[in-house]
Amino acid sequence: MNILIIGSGGREHVLAWKVKKSPLIEKLYCAPGNAGISEIAECVDIEANDIEGLVKFAKKNKINLTIVGPEAPLVDGIVDRFEKEKLMVFGPSQAAARLEGSKVFAKEFMQRCNIPTAQFRAFEDPSKAREFIQKAHFPLVIKADGLAAGKGVIVCKDIKEADAAISRIMEEKVFKEAGEKIIIEECLVGEEVSILAISDGENYVILQPSQDHKRIFDDDLGPNTGGMGAYCPTPLLDEVSLKKIEARVIEPAIRGMRREGMPFKGVLYAGLMMTEEGPMTLEFNVRFGDPESQVVLPRLKNDLVELMFASCEERLNDIQLIWDKRACVTVVMSSGGYPGEYESGKEIKGLDQFKKDENTIIFHAGTKSEGDKVVTAGGRVLAMTCFGKTMEKAIEDVYKKIEKIKFERCFFRRDIGAKALIIGHRSQAAGHR
């Protein structure tokens, strides 16, 4: 089979790495890809949002399955466009992708389906939003309705910050039309967990939960990023709480989308906050998480291509997932300055030394080839990923090896996975009592 992956980040590299293991595959393409992906797939110079260019490529190259990595083309309707041409494509329709494309749609949907989420109000008029914050409790969270590359959520500790957030989103329009509407919601406290489910519109399989690290600095300080590291499995959820989340969040979402005439096919990503009142849904995304996929997919033993075909062909009901018992952790190496301004074009040294190491995979995100060099080309540059017999070993290993990869002004968090050890020890202690 000929397979095309769309996108150019760490998520697309792990997708290519996993797809490449499938015996079903003949030729793998990635548009546009990056330096790491080009070692295992043929990269083609078409941007992820050039839907017509991608359709043309898929037809000409007899692509049997297209896998869409990022959210923007999904929200723009790439799946509908491919299906119109009778091309097989893994991902949700434009209507279903609104679960990520509009936070107002997602929150109102959750309300209709009784899916636990923070209390909220939606506003189209900044003066009404300002009126509301006069009497609100702080802290609260203000969110742009549309896609904002992970930057559209602002936690406000007082009325001054909330007022500034309303101005920035609705009047200065820093996120353009994504900020025509906003959500104002209660601020939740707790640990965050990411759950990815693959659905065929009716049936679904739930991948093992993982934990991302959204903030740029250690101890979850500083601004939000796309994600600075992740680990899987996580001691935050046991079998019982995962079942509860399935019954309260995943199942009602899949059932609700079907009932409302937009069956959800593809990856449903639920971002959850484990609060004292139980798990609350922060958001839905309609694609694999990044960097969550870099720790979840390496542990999945099933053939991903088969799972994706089963999703497209609506036959996920008879699939059982099988997992590697080892722990997996990934640490994102970013360009100094990210998530603010940063420089690109720095040579990356040391990439070849782990190629034969079975416990280590370096997934590329913002990288590109320049002659025989690999240089930085984005905020998040690499995701250094290690397996370990235990989480402790995986973490020890990843931090030993990461020191051997070098580029100018490289930055990474030093505490990825530390929470897994603390929570793990705590629940072990509780078990002994």
100 forms part of the interface with ligand GLY (CB under 6 A): no
Cα(11)–Cα(293) distance, integer angstroms: 6
12 forms part of the interface with ligand GLY (CB under 6 A): no
285 forms part of the interface with ligand GLY (CB under 6 A): yes
Closer residue to ligand AMP in complex, CB, 227/298: 227
Closest approach of ligand AMP to the CB of residue 89, in Å = 25
Cα 376 to chain centroid distance, Å, stands at: 21
Give the x-and-dash track for 148-187 against ligand GLY (CB under 6 A).
Answer: ----------------------------------------
| DSSP designation for 271 | E
Closer residue to ligand GLY in complex, CB, 10/279: 10
- When binding is defined by CB under 6 A, the residue of 12, 145, 212, 397 that contacts ligand GLY is 212
- Burial category of 356 from C-beta neighbours within 10 Å (exposed 0-12, middle 13-18, buried 19 and up): exposed
- When binding is defined by CB under 6 A, the residue of 37, 75, 99, 188 that contacts ligand AMP is 188
227 forms part of the interface with ligand GLY (CB under 6 A): yes
User: SS in 3 state form for 22-63?
Assistant: CCCCCEEEEEECCCCHHHCCEECCCCCCCHHHHHHHHHHCCC
Residue (of 398, 308, 381) closest to 339 by Cα position? 381
Residue (of 368, 376, 303) closest to 342 by Cα position? 376
Location of structure tokens 């799946």:
79
- When binding is defined by CB under 6 A, the residue of 289, 298, 339, 366 that contacts ligand GLY is 289
Cα(416)–Cα(396) distance, integer angstroms: 11
224 forms part of the interface with ligand AMP (CB under 6 A): yes
147 forms part of the interface with ligand AMP (CB under 6 A): no
332 forms part of the interface with ligand AMP (CB under 6 A): no
User: Which pair of tokens denotes residue 21?
Assistant: 């293991």
Beta strands 65-68; 2-7: pairing state: parallel
Residue (of 326, 392, 337, 335) closest to 361 by Cα position? 326
294 forms part of the interface with ligand GLY (CB under 6 A): no
Residue (of 298, 358, 307) closest to 328 by Cα position? 298
Closest approach of ligand AMP to the CB of residue 193, in Å = 10
107 forms part of the interface with ligand AMP (CB under 6 A): no
Element (H, E) at 7: strand 2-7
Q: Are 220 and 408 in contact (CB under 8 A)?
A: no
Query: In the chain, what is the greatest distance between 2 CA atoms, to the nearest angstrom?
Result: 64
Binding partner of residue 92 among ligand AMP, ligand GLY, none, CB cut-off 5 to 8 Å per kind: none
Closer residue to ligand GLY in complex, CB, 34/64: 34
Closest approach of ligand GLY to the CB of residue 283, in Å = 8
- When binding is defined by CB under 6 A, the residue of 292, 308, 366, 381 that contacts ligand GLY is 292
Residues in 112-131 that interact with ligand AMP by CB under 6 A: 118
Nearest residue to the partner ligand AMP, using Cβ: 283
Cα(36)–Cα(8) distance, integer angstroms: 10
Cα(216)–Cα(247) distance, integer angstroms: 33
200 forms part of the interface with ligand GLY (CB under 6 A): no
Give the x-and-dash track for 40-79 against ligand AMP (CB under 6 A).
Answer: ----------------------------------------
- When binding is defined by CB under 6 A, the residue of 187, 319, 418, 421 that contacts ligand AMP is 187
290 forms part of the interface with ligand GLY (CB under 6 A): yes
User: SS in 3 state form for 395-423?
Assistant: HHHHHHHHCCCECCCEECCCCCCHHHHHH
Closest approach of ligand GLY to the CB of residue 373, in Å = 29
Q: Residues with Cβ < 8 Å from 428, sequence gap 6 or more?
A: none
- When binding is defined by CB under 6 A, the residue of 3, 15, 122, 153 that contacts ligand AMP is 153
Cα(62)–Cα(78) distance, integer angstroms: 17
User: Which pair of tokens denotes residue 182?
Assistant: 């906003």
Binding partner of residue 283 among ligand AMP, ligand GLY, none, CB cut-off 5 to 8 Å per kind: ligand AMP
Applying CB under 6 A, the site for ligand AMP has a residue count of 14
Q: Are 399 and 350 in contact (CB under 8 A)?
A: no
Closer residue to ligand GLY in complex, CB, 185/290: 290
Please report, as ranges, the residues that interact with ligand GLY according to CB under 6 A: 212, 226-227, 285, 289-290, 292
**Which residues form the interface with ligand AMP (CB under 6 A)?**
118, 141, 143, 153, 155, 185, 187-188, 192, 214, 224, 271, 282-283
